[in-house]
Amino acid sequence: MASPIKSNYIKAIAHLGAFLTASAWGASFLCTKVLMIDGGFTPTEMYVYRFALAYLLLLLFTFRKILSNDWRDECLFMLCGVCAGSLYFITENYALQNTSTANVSLLGSISPLFTAAIMALVFRAKVGAGVVIGSVVAFAGVACVIFSNGEGFVIKPTGDLLALSASLSWAIYSIAVKRLIPLYSGLFITRKLFFYGVITALPILFWQQSATGGAYHIARLFDFSHPEFGLNFLFLVIFCSLLAYLIWNEVMKVLGPVATNNYLYLQPLVTMVAAYFVLGEKIFPLGYLGCALIIGGLIIADKLKLSPRHRQMRRV
């Protein structure tokens, strides 16, 4: 059994890993924006190219073991690959076409709340009061950050339901992968997620391109007259796909799916700060309040514990 000092050290490293991963994912929106707006890549193209290359790179290190231990685990890997890959990214991208960016950002941030609710209601897991309160505070901070630029929330059923579906799919992945984490290495799990995500997205890519008569833009990644395309793509593959998913799955071993998913609240904050330095976008007072609430919510979720009296009341 690990000593308290060693346990605290491992937990601190896990928190740092979750912070770095959420930061990379927050910055990924800017890279994706460059490739989609300036490079002309479609959302499905971006997903398939990015994760296909990440899969091939992982395969170089994990080619000795291709299949999982049994068919049940293989089905679970497929579920995780769809929920954390093709379903999540494609529904989110379509949501952006049917509702406002603010709606997608806010509804996409509900994933930690979905995770906590499923754990409590379906699996009867105990979710601490600090986690619930911290999640609500951080979610309020996300709302402040998203709406700080003056864009309001307007109900648009089709896009809003797609955004909620993306959020729910990530929550399902977070819970499903928990069973696989003790049985397989992080490299193996991540490679399987990428494989099933890409395989299930390929038919959608082919259908979209044939239906619209659109060209594939993969050659632009090798256009040396526009090196920003290749550089942004490599950042997405190496830092936002390979390293991010590997670290995220390892963090869930230590913190669990609920506490780990709370770090997703950092993504809008990181995007806002990155846009300030890279694109020169302004940060308004409501954005600063959102920063404080998000950070405060994460601290509450980690530190707030029930008093002995409250624990006794809960048992009663």
Q: What pLDDT is attached to residue 311?
A: 41
- For 287, left (φ over 0), alpha (ψ -120 to 50), or beta? alpha
Q: Residue 124 class from Cβ within 10 Å (0-12 exposed, 13-18 middle, 19+ buried)? A: exposed
Ordered alpha helix ranges (H), 63-128? 71-81, 87-98, 101-108, 111-121
Least confident of 118-122, 162-166, 259-263, 278-282: 278-282
Q: What's the CA angle centered on 153, arms 144 and 281, to 5 degrees?
A: 50
| Cα 137 from Cα 303, distance rounded (Å) | 14
Eight-state DSSP code of residue 265: G
Q: Residue 173 class from Cβ within 10 Å (0-12 exposed, 13-18 middle, 19+ buried)? A: buried
Q: Which residue did the predictor score with more confidence, 92 or 222?
A: 222
Q: How many residues does the chain have?
A: 316
CB 17 within 8 A of CB 250: yes
Q: Which two tokens stand for residue 214?
A: 């659109």
Question: At 308, is the pLDDT very low, low, confident or very high (cuts 50, 70, 90)?
Answer: very low
Question: At 100, is the pLDDT very low, low, confident or very high (cuts 50, 70, 90)?
Answer: low
| Cα 288 from Cα 293, distance rounded (Å) | 9
Question: At 153, is the pLDDT very low, low, confident or very high (cuts 50, 70, 90)?
Answer: low
Q: What pLDDT is attached to residue 229?
A: 93
Q: What pLDDT is attached to residue 306?
A: 47
* DSSP per position, 182-223: TTS-HHHHHHHHHHHHHHHHHHHHHHHHHHHTPPP-GGGGG-
Mean pLDDT value of segment 244-269: 89
pLDDT, one tens digit per residue, over 1-40 is 556 777 888 999 999 999 999 999 888 877 887 888 888 8
pLDDT, one tens digit per residue, over 182-227 is 999 989 999 999 999 999 999 999 998 888 787 888 999 998 888 9
pLDDT at 169 > cutoff 70: yes
pTM to 2 decimal places: 0.83
| Cα 311 from Cα 80, distance rounded (Å) | 35
Q: What pLDDT is attached to residue 122?
A: 75
pLDDT, one tens digit per residue, over 107-152 is 777 888 888 888 887 777 777 778 888 888 988 988 888 787 666 6
Q: Which two tokens stand for residue 251?
A: 């963090």
| Cα 252 from Cα 246, distance rounded (Å) | 10
pLDDT at 245 > cutoff 90: yes
Q: What pLDDT is attached to residue 130?
A: 81
Q: Residue 187 class from Cβ within 10 Å (0-12 exposed, 13-18 middle, 19+ buried)? A: middle
pLDDT, one tens digit per residue, over 287-302 is 889 889 988 988 888 7
pLDDT, one tens digit per residue, over 71-85 is 999 999 999 999 999
Q: Which residue did the predictor score with more confidence, 105 or 113?
A: 113
Q: What pLDDT is attached to residue 315?
A: 35
Residue where the block lists tokens 């091939």: 56
